[in-house]
Structure 1
Amino acid sequence: METIAVILMVVLFLVLMVFVFSTALLTPIIGKKNLIFVVLMGFIVGIIGGAFFISPIMDDIPNIASAFYQSTSTDLDTIYLDIPDSVDVNQFINTVKDIDGVKGVNVTGITIKTSGFSDYWKNTLPDRIPASNTNITSVQIQGNDTLNIQIQNGSNAKDTIKSLDDWLMLIAGISSSYSAVHVTVQADPSKTDQVRDQLSQTVVVTSIEGPTQDKINSLKAILPNQSNVVILCGFIGMFVGLAGVFIDSILGIFENIKGKVVKK
């Protein structure tokens, strides 16, 4: 939903509240039945307005806030990617660097799926693999068939995978069935959405982090769900109706307070 549409929906809800207030003003001398009518009318109109005008825009509030945060933030967002072995990593990285809004690209690690290996290799590979390749800084093993590898920044991921595949087969008879390179892309916040959409056409975007995303997640955490919003709008309509009924008394109270303040 566009921002203009959101504003229009809010305006329409306010028009309904003006209707409730005006109707309450027309109630002459309040009796018990008239007061109950005003309360019920305000609640029902508020529920209707909440259901049709306010509730639908709740899902769009994070998007609107995101556009605002992105246009005002100077900190970079970080986009996390998984690049499969079917993609030429070096060529892909060079292509990403030319995307408008990209400020930097780094290879952070590699995941290699292998044939199963024994507990002996599970215990020894974390020490032997870094010693066999200077590009590799550490190795974590999941189960008995998955290697999570951290490599030095600037290392050639494709060459590292090829070298490690050959080494595993030669030393331990372990074959590799699949590999994925983990890449981070630093993006201008105002361009993050466009960069993400372009990247997701060829690789998997696993997550996005940064100050802008943190603010959006915090906003989502405090936003009420749509059912609660509809009920809240009903109570707002009820209070608006009561305000219309007792507007003279309310204004009188404010006048008395104002008079006391002026005298002091």
Structure 2
Amino acid sequence: MDIITTIVYIVLFVIMMVFVFSIGMLRQYMPKREILLVLGVAFLIGAIGGAFFLDPIYDELPAVVSTVEKTIPNNEETLHLDLSSSIDTNQLRSTLSSMEGFKSFEEKSIIIPMWSFSEREHDYFDSIIGNIDSHYKEYEVTSNAINIELEDNYTSSQALKSFSDWYKLVYGETISYAQIKADLVVDSSKLDDFEQALLEKGIVATNIEGPIQDSLNNTNSSMLTNFEFTLFCGGIGVVVAIFGIYMDSIVPAYRRFRKFLRTKRKR
């Protein structure tokens, strides 16, 4: 939402509150039993105004907070990516590294889908994987997949090739697919540019960690629901109406209080 629209919405809500205040000031011309009706109308007007004018602005609050985080120097965001082995990670790295705000791109591990292992097959793979390639940092054999953590500067294509070569030697077949887990670290101020570049390649980060995401999560967790916010705006309308109803009493009391303070200072 642009600034002009935001200002217009706020002004319209203020105008509605001025109208509510004016209704409250008419209390002296109404029977006392009509006060509840005035308060009910004030609540309704406040709720409607909040739902139509303030709620869209309130929904933009997380985006505003994240924008502030983007302006802070040296903030970094880590995008966790799940990639297909059909993607040329070298080309992807080259494209991303040429963009302003790039920090690092690191392939962390590969997940090779297999069949449902029997207990014997599971034990066999668990005992042999570590001997296939010395660049396998860690590995885990699940019931139907093999997860291999890669050493630094060792690519997923190299790891997949070494495993595929061993698998072909033992089983006579080729493994050509794996899921790649990679981490992309970027400058927070350029996060949107990198998300767009990834989206153009059909890639969406599975998770993002960093100041921007933390601020989004914290803001979203502390915000009221749309229904609760609408009720809150209705409450504002009631408070404004009460000020209007008792304006004749509030103003003289305020003047007496100021006179008391001036008298006390003179003493």
Q: Same fold (TM over 0.5)?
A: yes
Instruction: Name the counterpart of 2:14.
Output: 14
Equivalent-residue separation in structure 2 for 1:259 and 1:108 (angstroms): 73
* Cα pair distance change 1:231/1:174, threshold 3 Å: farther
Q: CA, structure 1 residues 93+126, in 2 after alignment: closer, same or farther (shift >3 Å)?
A: farther
| Shift in Å, 1:258 | 4.5
Q: Distance in 1 between matches of 2:4 and 2:189?
A: 20
Aligned residues: 263
Using the alignment, how far apart are the partners of 1:225 and 1:73 within structure 2?
32
Distance change in 2, residues 1:136/1:26 (3 Å): same
- 2:239 matched residue in structure 1: 239
Equivalent position amino acid for 2:100 in 1: D
**Identity %, equivalent residues:** 29
Contact kept, 8 Å, 1:126 with 1:141, in 2: the verdict is yes
The more displaced of 196-205 and 207-216 is 196-205
Alignment of 1:5-154 (within 5 A): 5-29=5-29, 31-72=31-72, 74-143=74-143, 145-154=144-153
The alignment partner of 1:8 has SS state of: helix
> What is the SS of the residue equivalent to 2:79?
strand
What per-residue deviation string (whole Å, max 9, x for no partner) do you get for residues 200-241 of structure 1? 222242111112211110100111111111111111101101
Deviation at 1:77, TM superposition (A): 0.4
Name which of structure 1's ranges 169-178 and 87-96 shifts more when overlaid on structure 2. Answer: 169-178
Q: TM-score, normalised by structure 1?
A: 0.89
- CA change 1:218–1:127 in 2 (3 A) is farther
Tell me if structure 1 keeps the 8 A contact 2:76–2:185: yes
Gaps of 5+ in 2: none
Residues 250-261 of structure 1 aligned to structure 2 (within 5 Å): 250-259=250-259, 261=261
1:163 is aligned to 2:162: yes
Residue correspondence of structure 1 range 184-263 to structure 2 within 5 A: 184-202=183-201, 203-259=203-259, 261=261, 263=264
Output the aligned Cα RMSD: 2.3
- Contact 1:83/1:204 (8 A) holds in 2: no
Q: Are the structure 2 counterparts of residues 157 and 27 from structure 1 closer, same or farther at C-alpha, using a change threshold of 3 Å?
A: same
Instruction: Tell me whether 111-120 or 239-248 shows the greater mean CA deviation.
Output: 111-120
- After superposing the two structures, state which structure 1 stretch, 157-166 or 4-13, moved more: 4-13
Residue deviations 1:99-118, cap 9 Å, x none?
Answer: 22221111111111123433
SS at match of 2:177: strand
Deviation of residue 186 (structure 1)?
A: 0.8
TM-score (norm 2): 0.88
Letter in 2 for 1:33: R
**What SS is found at the alignment partner of 1:176?**
coil
1:157 deviation in Å? 1.7
- In structure 2, the CA distance between the partners of 1:190 and 1:56, relative to structure 1 (3 Å rule), is same
Q: Equivalents in 1 of 2:138, 2:121: separation in Å?
A: 15
Aligned equivalent of 1:183:
182
